[in-house]
Amino acid sequence: MKPIIFIAIIALLAAAPARSQPLVDPNKVAPEYREAAEKRRAEQIRQRECALKADLEKVLPRDRTAYLNHCLETVAARP
């Protein structure tokens, strides 16, 4: 009986939603990689802003990828 409970607990933990990737901190990387870390952080912030817009506009899951791609292209096109 105990192996079944153990397997059930493992299955529940595996099915838990994954946490989002934390923002890159440019101050915690080696100096030679700091510029790349700053660019990555800026990209992560843009992605989060577009995801928040999608949530606020209640974009359906099937349309979310297209919405996010359009949003990121729009943000990149701004001067």
Q: Per-residue pLDDT tens for 28-79?
A: 989 999 999 999 999 999 999 999 999 999 999 999 999 999 999 998 888 6
Helices (H) and strands (E) in the chain, counts: 3, 0
Count of CB atoms within 10 A of residue 47's CB? 16
Query: Contact at 8 Å (CB) between 68 and 47?
Result: yes
Residue 53, domain member (yes or no): yes
Residue 35, domain member (yes or no): yes
Q: Which of 75, 26, 25, 77 is nearest to 46 (CA)?
A: 75
Count of the separate structural domains present in the chain:
1
Residue 77, domain member (yes or no): yes
Quickly state the pLDDT bin for 10 (edges 50, 70, 90).
Answer: confident
> In which domain, by residue range, is 43 found?
24-79
